Amino acid sequence: MSRKTLTAILFASVIVFLVLAAATLVPSSAPKISDLGYSTLCPFAPWSTLALLFFAGLGWAIRRYVNSQPV
C-alpha cells in the first residue's frame, strides 16, 4: 500500500470518527437519558463521544507519523 493511499484512508477514518462523535450528541426522542442530562442519539454520550474523539486523534497522529517518514 502506498503512502498516499494510507494517508487518504487515515484521513477518511478521522473524518468518519469526527462525524460520529458529533452525531452522538444530537438530541433525540430516545427514552433513555444520557449522562449529559438529556435524551441523545447515543445513550452512552459523552463517553462514546470522548472515545470517538480519541480514535480520531489517534488516526491523525498515525497519519502525521506516516507523512513524516522519509521516502
Cell numbers that stand for 26 in this block? 444530537
Give residue 33's pLDDT band: very low, low, confident or very high (50, 70, 90).
confident
Triad 26, 31, 34: Cα angle to 5°: 50
Contacting residues for 18 by C-beta, under 8 A, at least 6 apart:
52, 53, 56
**Amino acid 66: pLDDT:** 95
Give the length of the chain.
71
pLDDT score for 37: 87
Q: Where are the domains of the chain?
A: 3-68
Give the tens place of pLDDT for each residue, 50-70.
999 999 999 999 999 999 998
Q: What is the pLDDT of residue 23?
A: 93
Say what the pLDDT of residue 63 is. Answer: 97
